[in-house]
Amino acid sequence: MGGWGYQRPRMIERRGADFFEPAHPEPRTRRATLVETVLGARHSLISNWMEKSYASGCDSFRIMRRQIVIANRPDAIRQVLVTDNAIFERKGPPVRRALEGVIGKGLFISDGPLWAERRPLVADAVHKNRLAAFAAPMESVTAEFAERWAALPAGATRDAQADMAALTAEIITRAVFGAQLRAGAARAVIEGFTQFQDRVDSFNIGYFLGLDEGLRVRHGWRVRRAIAGLHRTIEQVVEDHLASDSGEDSLLSRLVSHRDDEHHRKLGVQALHDEAATLFLAGHETTATTLTWAWYLLANAPWAEARLHEEIDRVAGDRPIGFADVPKLSWCRAVIDETMRLYPPIPIYSRQASRAAKIGDIEVESQAMVLVIPWLLHRARDLWQEPNLFRPERFLANRPAPFSYIPFSVGPRVCAGASFGMTEAVLCLAMLAQRFVVRPTGAPVVPICRLTLRPEGGLPVTLERRH
């Protein structure tokens, strides 16, 4: 059930001897009313779509006084995110307002000259050519985490979402900050961000009533406490790093030492805090949710899981899998690709039109909200065969058509850490799958999106040893 005026959609999940259709909300049969739209969006951003939305295309409608444009056709996506990026560069006010209290003016929600100044610094710090430098923290943290799993009593129940967040938070901390999180810090950050997602207003009614910048989000005491905890952790690790003379190579050390060739200026302390918070939250949350969904999918597709184990055993034999093996793990990568197709970590990209424009035959008003929606695009029946089924093999033969698969976005604002995140996801999945079989307990799985796409209430699992 939902709140007054809103009925939560029924979840569809089907399986057979050789197929698995993972959990997704049943499409609506009629357009939502205004009340259903508002309440539905505040519950989950993926739950209100109609059947016709699950095909590539463009559309325009209004919510109150604001034009909403859906640009979910490959040519329209190319226009919005690449060729006319200057018009549609700015993130939508609801997401900016929701996140500004957490990441300040971080790269994810900044735009204009500030974004142009910081993007090269962050992109250089996480460039794919630097991945080898992060092999050691990825491997060592995952190996330590596997030992903690191995020490658990047989049949112990875990929350895969929380565990994967703890794993990726520690990886990003050692890579970004070059040090371990203090005792309890990872748990505090994970719990804080979960509380924040559960309670933050990601709709921002002021924007839809006509305020082009939306309303500043006023948080309740629980969210304020969660944000304060997140800030304390980030501030402490930034201060520790600035006070350290260790000389360790880390993402943060690169940001501290990197000079902008044009402006000859280093990032200030507040800018370092904002970018560190952005890297930390985006870097651990998106990979954690991807790994969580991958465990769910593999557990319900035994043929895919068996092929994963066969590949890992063939590549590594009796030795532990490692960073150098990642290029050989084609099936493992296909599993991660397919996981992000079905459950893109950020299922909706919102942009704000800086001026009037035209997308296809749609006249776009200045300040309109323009949506590119991977959740719908990745399940579009005209772009994908059997779009609702888990089929990793679709990524082995050919890469998807351009602008039909965009889990990291595309264009100038493509995720700066895409290569880091993809490598991390493949390596973590392989290292843990080499030693463990992860089994959901059978609790209902409900995908829900406030900011990122998570299983509602986490994913309770039990662990079985392989080796």
DSSP string, 385-445: SSTTS--TTHHHHSPPPTTS--TT--GGGS-TTHHHHHHHHHHHHHHHHHHEEEEE-S---
Residue ranges for the known binding site are: 415
Q: What is the pLDDT of residue 202?
A: 72
DSSP state of 164: H
Q: Is the pTM of this model over 0.85?
A: yes
Nearest in space to 297 (alpha carbons), one of 341, 240, 256: 341
Phi-psi region at 151: left, alpha or beta (left = phi > 0; alpha = psi -120 to 50): alpha
Its sign, for the CA torsion 168, 171, 176, 178, is positive
Question: What is the helix (H) or strand (E) element at residue 71, kind and residue range?
Answer: strand 66-72
Q: Residue ranges of the chain with pLDDT lower than 70?
A: 1-6, 125, 177-186, 201, 241-242, 244-269
Cβ-contact 367, 212 below 8 angstroms: yes
Residue ranges for the known binding site for heme are: 415
Q: Give the CATH architecture of domain 59-459.
A: Orthogonal Bundle (1.10)
Q: What is the pLDDT of residue 311?
A: 98
Q: What is the pLDDT of residue 248?
A: 58
User: Residue 128 CB: number of other CB atoms within 10 A?
Assistant: 12
Q: Is 356 helix (H, G, I), strand (E, B) or coil?
A: coil
Q: What is the pLDDT of residue 244?
A: 65
Q: How many helices (H) and strands (E) does the chain have?
A: 17, 13
> CA–CA separation, 157 vs 458, rounded Å?
12
Its sign, for the CA torsion 318, 130, 406, 193, is positive
